[in-house]
Amino acid sequence: MEGKSKTGWLTLIVVTLSVFIIVIDKTFMNVAISTLIIDLHTNIETIQSIIAIYALVMACLMLPGSKLQNILGRRRTFLIGASIYGVGAVIATLSINSTMLLLGWSILEGVGAALMMPATTSIISGSYEGERRAFALGIISSMASGAGTIGPLIGGFLTAYYSWRYAFGLELVVIVIILLFSREIAIFPPIMKWPDFDVLGAIYSASGIFLIVMGILILNHPQNWNIALYFMIAGLTLLIIFYFNQNKRIKQNKSPLLDITLFKDRAFTLANLARLIMNFTIGGVIFAIPVYIQLVLGADPLTTGLSLIPLSLGIFTLSFTAGKVSTRLPARYILSLGFLSAIAGSIYLSIIFSPYTTILDMMPGILLLGIGMGIVFPHSANVIFAVARRDQQPDASGVMNTGINLGSALGTAVIGVILILGSFGSLESGSASYPSGSHVNLQDIPGKLGIGNSSGLNEINTALKGDNSKKIKAMKDAFNVVTIVLLMGLISSLLIPPRKKIPETDSGGVTTQI
């Protein structure tokens, strides 16, 4: 029997706080890349791996994390995840080298998030009913969009004026609040036993995803490309074995880790593919742009965060139009419009990079990308959950959230490889422009953004006339790849079969990540 919320909206507040920190965790460190390189005495390749592995850990464990709710109960799974996340935040805050940051942020926080995130929607769906449930799910979705919007600003502000460690400290404070009020979350009894848990399926899926992304990261070293190929082939093989393993369990009436019959519906498969591609784009873009702005233009973390505002605003604003537009146009046409906008933004960015490009010059392209993402994210979710039956929606959510994090990890890995091989890999500790603790004069920001004829703009132009031609070419190549991937997303969206109406769901059909 499902539990009910014991204290009105307090359960919603507690769960929403977890969504907030998980979402900002995916964006606020990207604006601190140059500072991380200096503080941790490392290089851009290591920071790229740390960022990618955070999303990778979530992608690997999202399906097992979803299933563990049925064994441990929703609240217990959520609180175990919060506790692990809190330990990771402590280690990340105290990191003295890249290994500690990898352990605390990428691994422990990634594991904690993989346990918390699937439970958030389940707890809300079981705690509220009717209009209250729809309202609560809407709040979670809005919080996810809002957190994605302010994540770079929070990271940039704290890094520029204090330290990036304060960002993880902020997460720790939120975790403490969640644990203090955890008794307000209703108890949901387990509906499965440990013998029913598909251990082999969990191993196959997690290992397959892990090997594919790690194979891409190994491409940073051309001498190891043969090893990278073996990694990717092994990963793909394990995912194929996983598919047949799940199919066999279903035929034997055993509980699968994932109901793969969902993929028999073409709309479900293509909508997830479209969503994965768009998350590939955002993962690559929010890695590439901060790298260029900080390590080539020499901007500080706060300015970097401000430069990403058009992306966040596009996502946040367009997400709220989903309900009205979805009833007027077929989903495939709406998704196509989103991909066309993102493609236009990517092409624009690939064209404008030159020795004289400023941050302000980049903003129209960044905004077009954000608009495209803001269109695709909510509408692809509508298609995904419209296909799934009520009993299949936890599996649909697991697939979608796995795709979200896998796409982000792949984007960071692939675009990172292009930049690193394109001469960004020579940037190590000591080469970044803004050491930890350096303060920023807010009056200088317009000049750094390229507004007005400032001395900062002249310095940027002078620097770029030097040996940055390879880096500019690497940025062009990166966005050319993004454009090609987005074209694949456009094709996949056009192949989604038409439906007369995409019904709204009130039992889990909400995305809580970007």
Per-residue model confidence as pLDDT tens digits over 409-429: 999 999 999 988 876 655 554
Q: 183 pLDDT band (50/70/90 cuts)?
A: confident
Asked if 29 contacts 150 with a C-beta cutoff of 8 angstroms, the reply is: no
CA distance 205 to 114: 14
pTM of the model: 0.84
Whole-number pLDDT of residue 322: 56
Q: Does the pLDDT at position 504 exceed 90?
A: no
User: Which pLDDT belongs to residue 298?
Assistant: 83
Could you report the per-residue pLDDT of 314-360, keeping only the tens digit for each? Answer: 887 877 665 566 567 788 899 999 999 999 999 999 999 888 888 99
Q: Lowest-confidence range among 110-119, 296-305, 495-504?
A: 495-504
Whether 465 has a pLDDT exceeding 60, the answer reads no
Closest CA to 131 of 506, 486, 381: 506
Give 30-77 as a 3 state SS string.
HHHHHHHHHHCCCEHHHHHHHHHHHHHHHHHHHHHHHHHHHHHCHHHH
Asked if 221 and 425 count as a contact pair (C-beta separation under 8 A), the reply is: no
Given a cut of 60, whether residue 484 has pLDDT beyond it is yes
φ, ψ for residue 43, nearest 5 deg: -135, 175
Does residue 495 sit in helix, strand or coil? coil
Which pLDDT band holds residue 443 (cuts at 50, 70, 90)?
very low
* Inter-residue contact 37 to 167 (CB < 8 Å): no
Per-residue pLDDT of 81-94, as tens digits, reads 999 999 999 999 99
Q: Which pLDDT does position 285 carry in this prediction? A: 93
